[in-house]
Amino acid sequence: MLILALTVLLTACNNDEPNNESTSMVIVYSRAVNPDDNTTTFSQATCQFVLRNEATTTLQAQLLLKLNESTTVEFTTQFMPLTPCSDESYTYTFASTAITSASGGHTISNLRGKINMVGPTYIEYTVDGNIHCYSTLQPYYTHTVTQITRTENDSPVDYTLQKSHYGLMLDNAGSKGDLYLFNFQFSETGSTVYCLRFDGLNAEPTATGYHLTGADIVPKTFESSYDTHGNSSEQYKIKSLDLNITDQGQTVSGTIITADETAPITINLNGRFFETNI
């Protein structure tokens, strides 16, 4: 299903594992921000997460990322206790003071993160004492409020969507991205579109997240979670899209303006990974 690529369930994929342990191989986006030369390096890799349920629930992460175009580092954490968050169900924080292995003689420190068992994961850490790194599973922003301004009969009509969610998928280089809008309404009384997908946006990794832009985009619409092909929708053609992923990837905001000059729609997106950042 379409949403499967944007949400991750930590479920067992190896029948030989103990009953109290499950392993997932997932796509992780990472950015390494070097303050010495003010550069940001993006990388995408398949990484491993192991969830263990014993007296307490613990998580181990094995991560792979680029520090720059010529240097890649891989490391594995200890099993980290998961602490439930008081502000959100199925969400936990974790931290590691010890790394069980790191390639190339690199040091990993100050690792901490947050995980939702049916959604996003965020991890931040420092490499070699000064390179600040941020890793996320494919971003899916579930805590959102979207303000819509629709022009009808030359008069603006405002309304707010409380149930829309956003997802983002980047290519291997982080230079292109596809934006997903779930549970979206183009009018207060209109029907809900299960998903809109805007393909091929320009993406730029930044020190705080990503910047996505696009113009003259015809999205695809998906009417249900079982609809895998989608239909091109000229009626929802977008004149411009400008989106900022900030707070190290945990929040999203931006504006989409439809191309209909006689009755344009302005969509102000705002969303978060979690209720609160770590």
Encode burial over 87-122: b for 16+ CB neighbours within 10 A, e otherwise: ebeebbbbebeebeebeeebebeebebbbbeebbbb
Q: What is the pLDDT of residue 9?
A: 40
DSSP-H helix ranges across 10-128: none
Full residue range of the structural domain in which residue 121 is found: 2-137
Residues 187 and 243 in one domain: yes
Cα separation, 15 vs 256, whole angstroms: 46
Query: Residue 114: inside a domain, yes or no?
Result: yes
Give the HSE-up count for residue 105: Cα atoms under 13 Å, Cβ half-sphere: 0
The verdict on 132 and 9 lying in the same domain is yes
Residue 108 forms part of a structural domain: yes
> Is residue 277, in this structure, part of any structural domain at all?
no
Q: Are residues 108 and 169 in the same domain?
A: no
Q: Are residues 232 and 157 in the same domain?
A: yes
Residue 278 lies in a domain: no
Q: What SS3 state is found at 247? A: helix
187 is a domain residue: yes
Query: Does the residue 180 lie in any domain?
Result: yes
**Residue 99 forms part of a structural domain:** yes
Question: Do 44 and 76 sit in the same domain of this protein?
Answer: yes
177 and 60 in a common domain: no
Which residues partner with 63 through β-bridges? 75
116 and 40 within one domain: yes
From 81, 113, 137, the end of a domain falls on 137
- Domain boundary residue, one of 137, 154, 189: 137
**Whether residue 17 is found in the same domain as residue 129:** yes
DSSP secondary structure letters along the chain: -GGGGT--------TTS-TTEEEEEEEEEEEEEETTTTEEEEEEEEEEEEEEESSSEEEEEEEEEEEETTEEEEEEEPPEEPEE-TTSTTEEEEEES-EEEEGGG--EEEEEEEEETTS-EEEEEEETTTEEEEEEES-EE-EE-EEEEEEETTEEEEEEESS-EEEEEE-TTSSEEEEEEEEE-SSSSSPPEEEEEEEEEEEEE-SSSEEEEEEEE--EEESSTT--S-EE-GGG-EEEEEEEEEGGGTEEEEEEEES-SSS-EEEEEEEESSSS--
Tell me, yes or no, whether 146 lies in a domain.
yes
Indicate if 125 and 161 belong to the same structural domain.
no
**Pair (124, 217) in one structural domain:** no
pLDDT tens for 219-262 read 999 988 888 888 888 888 999 999 999 999 999 999 999 998 88
Structure confidence at residue 17 (pLDDT): 56
Determine the pLDDT at residue 35: 95
- The total number of structural domains in the chain stands at 2
pLDDT at 155: 80
Q: What is the pLDDT at residue 256?
A: 95
Co-location of 106 and 49 in the same domain: yes
Q: pLDDT per position in the chain (278 positions), as tens?
A: 334 443 444 443 444 556 689 999 999 999 999 999 999 999 999 999 999 998 889 999 999 999 999 999 999 999 999 999 998 999 999 999 878 778 889 999 999 999 998 889 999 999 999 999 999 998 999 999 999 998 777 788 899 998 899 999 999 999 999 999 999 888 777 788 899 999 999 999 999 999 999 999 999 999 888 888 888 888 889 999 999 999 999 999 999 999 988 888 999 999 999 999 88
Of 106, 137, 168, the position where a domain reaches its end is 137
98-125 per-position pLDDT tens digit = 787 788 899 999 999 999 988 899 999 9
My answer on whether 212 and 265 are in the same domain is yes
CATH of residue 20's domain is: 2.40.160
